[in-house]
C-alpha cells in the first residue's frame, strides 16, 4: 500500500558544517499524539522554556494551521510515575465537547478542562479553535503521590488511572465533577500496574502488572477486571490471562480492545514481541482463548521505561501496528486472521501510533527528517509530515547511517550503525563511538543532528546496538543478563577493532560518548581496553552499590538482572563499578552532571572525576544547578556539545 506525500513548502537550507546552536536549536519535541473527532492533539516539550511540556491542538490534516495551546504557561504537563513519567494527559469527547485531563508538574495534581467547538467549518479559519467551558478543575488534592497512565470513563464521569504512593501502585479513580478529592482506590496490585485500557462497552478493564525484581519487559502479566454497576472491580472478578503453556518467561505490552470481548496484546511468548489475540467471551465455560496472529521475527513492543508508548492502535475493527526489524520500523495494517499489509512510507523510525477511523498519526523520522508528526489518510492514501523546525536537510549534506554487523561477545552477530565522514581527510580519520542508554534502548537511523555535527567535521560515527539492546528479540536482549559492563563494553570494543582492521579509522583518534547507562558502558570501555583516546560522559552510572541502595522503586531490582543477586554478588557490584576502577582509566574524560539528578548521585560523579585527576589524567567536569537526570535547558545542551568537541580536539591533537 503506497501513500503519496502532500507537497511540502520550501524551507531554509542549513550549512554543511553544523554549529552547536543549530544542532540543539529552539526545537520542540513532539510526544504522545492523539486523534479525536477531526482534531489532532500532541504534547510539545520546549527546550527554550526549560523543558516545559504543553498540549497543542489543531484540525487533523491541516499542518499549516496555527495550533492552539490548551495548557499555557506556567502549566507543565508532566508525570513522574515510576520515576520516568509518561502518559501525562487523557482525552475523551461527547458531542461538541472535548474533555481533557492532565498532570501538572507544578503541583502534581490531576486537572480537567472541558472545551467546546469540536465541530467546525474549515473554510472559516477564524473559528477553528476551541472555547473553554468554564474554568479548569483541580480534581485531586495535592499529596505525596504520583498520578498518570489514565483514561477518561465518560460513562461514569470519572478518570481512571495509576497512583504510585509510599512505594506501592494502585488503580484509582477521580470524579470529573468534584474538586480536591482523595483518590478512590479500585484495585491494589501486588506491585506495579500500567497500560490501562477500557473496552467499547465500558464494562471491562485490561491492564499489565509486573513484580519486583523483574522489569516489565522481562516478566509481566495481563489482567482483566469486570466493572460492576457501582463502577467497582471486585477481586474475584479479575481474570489472570494465562500463557503458562508456553513455558517461556512472558512479557506483555499495551493491551488494546478489538471489541467488547477480544483483546490484542503484544507478547514475547515466541521469543519476539508479536501480536496475540485473546478472547474472554464465555470465559466461565470455555476459559480464555488466545492465538498468535502476527508471528514474525520482528518486535512490536518496546521496553516500558515510560508510560503511554504505543505501537498498536485499533478503531472500528482496523488494526494498525508498528514492527521493528533490524533496527528499522514499518507500519502494517492487519486483519484478525493474521493477513498483514505493509504501508509503504519513506520513514523507517516510527513511534506513538494512533488511529481514529481513517485517520492515523505517529511520530516519524528517517535519515533526512527529524522526528515529526506524520498524518495519514487511509481512505485517500495520502500523508503529510510536520517537521519540528523549518529547515530543509539536503541529501548531499547528510550522512545516512549504514547497518554494520560484527562479531560481538561470544562471537554473536551484533548490529550497529556506521556513519562515514561528510568530508574525508586522509591525514586525520577520527571515530566517535556512541553507547546508547537504557541499556535496553535501540540506536536507530533517524536523523540525529548531533551525529551529523560530528560527520560534518570529518568524524566517522559508530552507534552500537550492543547485546542487551531492544529490537532484535528476547535472546539478543538477554545477552546482557548478569553481564552489564562486560557484554556492552566488549561489543563496543569489538566494533572498533573491526573498523581499525578495515583501515577505515585511525587507531589513535577514537573517542567514546555515553549518558546514564551509556556513560557506564563508556567508562567500562576505558577500564577494559586501551582503544579509546578520550571520552565524554553525561550523568554516568559510576557506583553500582550506591545505585542499588538509592535508586527509585521502579528499577530497584534491575541491577539484580544486570549484575546478579545483590546478596550473593556484593563483590561483583564493587568490581564492575567505574569508581572502584579509576586506576585503570588512562584516557582523558570530560563529565557533565546535573545537581538535581535523583538517579545518579552527583557526589559520586564528582568523586570519580577527582580520583582520575589525582592520577594526572586530563579530566574536566561541568555541573549544572538546574538539571536532573537528562538535560532540558537549551543553554545546557549547547554548552555540553561545544565543550565536548573542544575537549576532544584538545586531547586528540588534530
Q: Which three cell numbers stand for residue 457?
A: 567535521
pLDDT greater than 60 at residue 246: no
Residues 90 and 148 sit within 8 Å (Cβ to Cβ): no
| Comparison of pLDDT for 394 and 25, the residue scoring more | 25
| Residue 128: predicted pLDDT | 67
Query: What residue segments make up the domains of the chain, in order of their start?
Result: 14-188, 200-296, 310-393, 399-652
pLDDT greater than 90 at residue 210: yes
Residues 332 and 277 sit within 8 Å (Cβ to Cβ): no
**What pLDDT band is residue 287 in, cutting at 50, 70 and 90?**
confident
Distance CA 444, CA 455 (A): 17
- CATH superfamily, domain 399-652, is Alpha/Beta hydrolase fold, catalytic domain (3.40.50.1820)
pLDDT greater than 80 at residue 394: no
The stretch 37-45 carries a mean pLDDT of 95
Give exposure, 479-518, as e/b (b: 16+ Cβ within 10 Å). Answer: bbeebbbbbbbbbbbbbbebbeeeeebbbebbbbbbbbbb
Put simply, whether the predicted model's pTM sits higher than 0.85 gets the answer yes
| Residue 288: predicted pLDDT | 79
**What pLDDT band is residue 243 in, cutting at 50, 70 and 90?**
low
| Residue 364: predicted pLDDT | 97
**What pLDDT band is residue 125 in, cutting at 50, 70 and 90?**
low
The stretch 333-348 carries a mean pLDDT of 87
| Residue 306: predicted pLDDT | 95
Which 3 state secondary structure label does DSSP give 520? helix
| Comparison of pLDDT for 236 and 558, the residue scoring more | 558
| Residue 11: predicted pLDDT | 46
Give the other-Cβ count within 10 Å of 427's Cβ.
7
**What pLDDT band is residue 7 in, cutting at 50, 70 and 90?**
very low
**Residue recorded with cell 544547578:** 625
pLDDT greater than 80 at residue 262: yes
pLDDT greater than 90 at residue 500: yes
Closest C-alpha among 205, 183, 178, 204 to residue 194: 205
pLDDT, tens digit, for every residue of 172-205?
Answer: 999 999 999 999 999 999 999 999 999 999 999 9
| Residue 438: predicted pLDDT | 87
Cβ neighbours of residue 295 closer than 8 Å, sequence gap 6 or more: 270, 274, 338
The stretch 504-524 carries a mean pLDDT of 97
Q: Name residue 621's beta-bridge partners.
A: 591
Amino acid at each position: 500500500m503506497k501513500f503519496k506525500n502532500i507537497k511540502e513548502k520550501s524551507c531554509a537550507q542549513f550549512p554543511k558544517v553544523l554549529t552547536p546552536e543549530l544542532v540543539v536549536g529552539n526545537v520542540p519535541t513532539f510526544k504522545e499524539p492523539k486523534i479525536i473527532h477531526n482534531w489532532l492533539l500532541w504534547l510539545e516539550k520546549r527546550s527554550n522554556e526549560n523543558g516545559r511540556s504543553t498540549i497543542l491542538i489543531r484540525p487533523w490534516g491541516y499542518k499549516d494551521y496555527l495550533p492552539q495551546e490548551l495548557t499555557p504557561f506556567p502549566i507543565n504537563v508532566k508525570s513522574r510515575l515510576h520515576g520516568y513519567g509518561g502518559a501525562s494527559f487523557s482525552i475523551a469527547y461527547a458531542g461538541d465537547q472535548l474533555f481533557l485531563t492532565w498532570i501538572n508538574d507544578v503541583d502534581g495534581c490531576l486537572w480537567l478542562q472541558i472545551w467546546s467547538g469540536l465541530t467546525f467549518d474549515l473554510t472559516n479559519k477564524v473559528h477553528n479553535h476551541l472555547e473553554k467551558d468554564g474554568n479548569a478543575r483541580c480534581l485531586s488534592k495535592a499529596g505525596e503521590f504520583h498520578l498518570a497512565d489514565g483514561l477518561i470513563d465518560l460513562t461514569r464521569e470519572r478518570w481512571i488511572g495509576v497512583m504510585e504512593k509510599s512505594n506501592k501502585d494502585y488503580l484509582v479513580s477521580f470524579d470529573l465533577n468534584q474538586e480536591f478529592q482523595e483518590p478512590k482506590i479500585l484495585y491494589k496490585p501486588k506491585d506495579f500496574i500500567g497500560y490501562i485500557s477500557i473496552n467499547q462497552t465500558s464494562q471491562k478493564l485490561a491492564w499489565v502488572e509486573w513484580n519486583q525484581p523483574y522489569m516489565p519487559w522481562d516478566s509481566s502479566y495481563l489482567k482483566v477486571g469486570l466493572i460492576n454497576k457501582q463502577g467497582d472491580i471486585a477481586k474475584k472478578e479479575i481474570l489472570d490471562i494465562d500463557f503458562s503453556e508456553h513455558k517461556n518467561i512472558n512479557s506483555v505490552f499495551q493491551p488494546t480492545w478489538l471489541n467488547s470481548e477480544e483483546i490484542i496484546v503484544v507478547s514475547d511468548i515466541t521469543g519476539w514481541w508479536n501480536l496475540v489475540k485473546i478472547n474472554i467471551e464465555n470465559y466461565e465455560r470455555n476459559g480464555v482463548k488466545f492465538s498468535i496472529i502476527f508471528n514474525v521475527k520482528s518486535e512490536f513492543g518496546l521496553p516500558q521505561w515510560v508510560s503511554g508508548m504505543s505501537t498498536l492502535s485499533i478503531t472500528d475493527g482496523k488494526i494498525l501496528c508498528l514492527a521493528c526489524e533490524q533496527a528499522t520500523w514499518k507500519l502494517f495494517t492487519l486483519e484478525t486472521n493474521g493477513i498483514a499489509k505493509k504501508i509503504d512510507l519513506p520513514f523507517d523510525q516510527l513511534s506513538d501510533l494512533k488511529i481514529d477511523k481513517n485517520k492515523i498519526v505517529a511520530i516519524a523520522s528517517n535519515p533526512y527528517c527529524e522526528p515529526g508528526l506524520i498524518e495519514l489518510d487511509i481512505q485517500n492514501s495520502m500523508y503529510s509530515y510536520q517537521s519540528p523546525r523549518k529547515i530543509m536537510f539536503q541529501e548531499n549534506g547528510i550522512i545516512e547511517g549504514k547497518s554494520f554487523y560484527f562479531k560481538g561477545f561470544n562471537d554473536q552477530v551484533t548490529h550497529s550503525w556506521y556513519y562515514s565522514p561528510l568530508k574525508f581527510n586522509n591525514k586525520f580519520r577520527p571515530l566517535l563511538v556512541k553507547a546508547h542508554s537504557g541499556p535496553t534502548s535501540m540506536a536507530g537511523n533517524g536523523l540525529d543532528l548531533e551525529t551529523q555535527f560530528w560527520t560534518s567535521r570529518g568524524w566517522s560515527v559508530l552507534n552500537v546496538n550492543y547485546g542487551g539492546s531492544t529490537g532484535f528479540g528476547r535472546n539478543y536482549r538477554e545477552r546482557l543478563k548478569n553481564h552489564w559492563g562486560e557484554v556492552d563494553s566488549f561489543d563496543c570494543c569489538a566494533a572498533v577493532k573491526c573498523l581499525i582492521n578495515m583501515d577505515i579509522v585511525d587507531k589513535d583518534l577514537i573517542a567514546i560518548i555515553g549518558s546514564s547507562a551509556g556513560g557506564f558502558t563508556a567508562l567500562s570501555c576505558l577500564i577494559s581496553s586501551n582503544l579509546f583516546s578520550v571520552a565524554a560522559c553525561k550523568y554516568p552510572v559510576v557506583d553500582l552499590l550506591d545505585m542499588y541502595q538509592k535508586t527509585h522503586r521502579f528499577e530497584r531490582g534491575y541491577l539484580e538482572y544486570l549484575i546478579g543477586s545483590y546478596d550473593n554478588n556484593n563483590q561483583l557490584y564493587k568490581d564492575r563499578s567505574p569508581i572502584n576502577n579509576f586506576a585503570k582509566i588512562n584516557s582523558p574524560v570530560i563529565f557533565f552532571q546535573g545537581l538535581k539528578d535523583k538517579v545518579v548521585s552527583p557526589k559520586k560523579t564528582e568523586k570519580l572525576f577527582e580520583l582520575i585527576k589525582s592520577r594526572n589524567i586530563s579530566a574536566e567536569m561541568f555541573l549544572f544547578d538546574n538539571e536532573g537526570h537528562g538535560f532540558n535547558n537549551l543553554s545546557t545542551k549547547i554548552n555540553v556539545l561545544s565543550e565536548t568537541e573542544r575537549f576532544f580536539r584538545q586531547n586528540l591533537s588534530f
